[in-house]
Amino acid sequence: MAKKTLKFKTELEQLLHLITHSLYSHREVFLRELISNACDAIDKVRFEGLTNTELLDGDSNWKITLRADKEAKTLTISDNGIGMSQESVIQNLGTIAHSGTQAFLEKAKEMDVKDNPELIGQFGVGFYASFMVADDVTVITKAHGEDAVKWESKGTGNFTLSDADKETRGTEIILHLKEDAAEYLDDWTIRSTVKKFSDFLEHPVVLLTTEKDEEKDTEEEKEDQINTQKAIWLRAKNEIKDEEYSEFYKHIAHDMADPAETIHYNAEGAIEFKALLFIPEAKPFDMMMNNDPKAHLNLYVQRVFISNEFDNLLPSYLRFVKGVVDSSDLPLNVSREILQENPMLDKIRKNLVGRVLKTLKAMKTKDYDKFLKFHEAFSTILKEGLQSDWENKEKIADLLLFESTVKDAGEKTCFADYVENMADDQEEILYLAGENRAAIAHSPYLESFKDKGQEVLLMTDPIDDFVIPQLMEYKGKKLKAVNKGEIDDKDALKDEEKQFEGFLGFAKEQLDGVKEVKLTTRLKDSAAVIVGDEHSMSPHIEEMMRRMGQDIPPHESVLELNPEHPVVKKVQAMYDADAKDPKVGTLTKLLHDQAVIASGAKLADPAAFAARLNAVLAD
């Protein structure tokens, strides 16, 4: 065949520029694409060889070979796969986005052969990633029974075809590397890139290196396999030891400890994929050093690593889960770097979430001590799901543990046990959020509930005050913060309200930031308490946010007074005797000050409080 020059079948120069400069965010993926194509070529000849053994030419020692020549500045990727005829070269390499793999799959379906190879090169552009690192690309290929063909291009709009000297079936791709891509001639860079993207390919990837024999003054070429081929998630669970699972987990999670739980399964049916997930027993090093709010799993397509930058295989509240998902069904965009949103992806996500939550529930039931350790490390993250995953919020709630007024310090309970122990006439799950147990266990807000023997959950995680209200109810029981909103029987204090009516109006006029002063039955031992509305932020959270420099908009609260408390009775009596007595105003403000302190908030003017207190003590 005489050498001839042909034009690519498209607006090629612009398209190649797009592919090599915009399609891929990391140019190291060129090696992933070329190795994946080589793997596909091997799978194709293996598949067709099932019905036509002559295609194999007696060669079934499958492998993909890499050779770096630093002097020539070339990197060669070769395979002993199906190869291409001249017609196939023009069709597959001369037409951008014409996918030979896609056409092959269609042919395989028509043949109705069950053992179809699942191939990943479905977009016909991966080969052109070569031009990200090479300014000249040469392809030498030979198909069974066909003459060898040489294809060359600089990626500028033309390519040349000529005869080639190649005796065996397969393809060689020779990249003449750009000056700024010389790193891909280094053994270490090649090994690490293959390790990252192609470590678990079914076929061996070997690197040819040259070793000099000093005694003989000769050089010998050595083959070194650089991928492990050990895709642990593709093996049957009964063939894998716990030590192997742990070793793999430590590798992908950068953790020193063993995982708390391992989830290994194959999903079959409408969507098929393989998953190997791990639940850590404590925060891995990368989570302690990195506050990335997204969940990252390693995504593989037929053993080829695609990325761990996807954040839509798991919701962010499960970002502590580490692992691998491998599926040939996932639709990828042409760069294989961005997952498209579609119903198939939603099904995988729902499947993974369901499995993780089910595993955590089983851990809580079967190994409570292990679950306690997990809960201590990850419950704050898990609770984020209460405000983002409405479909699973009750399953998430089932996994949460809290301290309680009827439990010893450090002992935990859960929503399910709380509901089971509720009195028949109790309609609400009662809780109080605060900084720590010591700060809230003796809070005035709890007095009436302790008096009735009602349990109150004590929530001390800062996130509780934000996410627990999002739950709203559990098993048909509404959640009620005991420091917010109404709890009194409106008819219980009618007589006292008439007696205190004048003083209550006076107190409201004396106090800034108070929208109402009223009597309450929620107090038994304390004189006064500050109460917010149902949707207000707890005082201790407001204080925490102020320390972080956040602006908290001013809002008015309610001051509730205990009409049975001696101090409240005394101040009311003093008001009745002489409403203009300065001591009445001073004592009223002190009642408000102590209520603010008891709520967990900080006094706006501590000096004024000290002055009022000293005045009373000196009297």
Strand partners, 76: 67, 174
The pLDDT assigned to 13 comes to 60
Decide: residue 369, CB within 10 A, 0-12 exposed, 13-18 middle, 19+ buried: exposed
The pLDDT assigned to 129 comes to 85
The pLDDT assigned to 9 comes to 56
Give φ, ψ of 35 to 5 degrees: -65, -40
SS3 call for 244:
helix
- At position 383, the amino acid (one-letter code) is K
- 532-556, pLDDT tens digit by residue? 877 776 766 666 666 666 776 667 7
Domains of the chain: 4-225 (3.30.565.10), 232-372 (3.30.230.80), 400-481 (3.40.50.11260), 494-618 (1.20.120.790)
Contact 388, 315 (CB under 8 A): yes
The pLDDT assigned to 495 comes to 84
- Beta-carbon contacts of 381 under 8 Å, excluding residues fewer than 6 positions away, are 317, 318, 319, 320
The pLDDT assigned to 286 comes to 66
Output Rg (C-alpha) for the chain, integer angstroms.
Answer: 36
* pLDDT < 70 positions in the chain: 1, 7-25, 95-125, 213-217, 285-290, 331-342, 488-490, 537, 539-549, 552-554
The 10 Å Cβ neighbour count of residue 602 is: 14
- 253-292, pLDDT tens digit by residue? 888 889 999 999 998 877 889 999 999 988 876 666 667 7
What's the token pair of residue 443? 């809070």
The pLDDT assigned to 334 comes to 39
Kindly list the distances between the CA atom of residue 527 and the CA atoms of 499, 506, 591, in Å, as whole numbers in the listed order: 17, 17, 7
What's the token pair of residue 462? 């800062």
Q: What is the pTM of this model?
A: 0.77
Going by C-alpha positions, the residue among 471, 309, 450, 453 that lies closest to residue 382 is: 471
Give the CB-side neighbour count of residue 164, counting CA atoms within 13 A.
Answer: 27
Q: Please state, in angstroms and rounded to a whole number, the distance separating the CA atoms of residues 457 and 431.
A: 4
- 175-204, pLDDT tens digit by residue? 999 999 999 999 999 999 999 888 888 899
Strand partners, 174: 76, 138
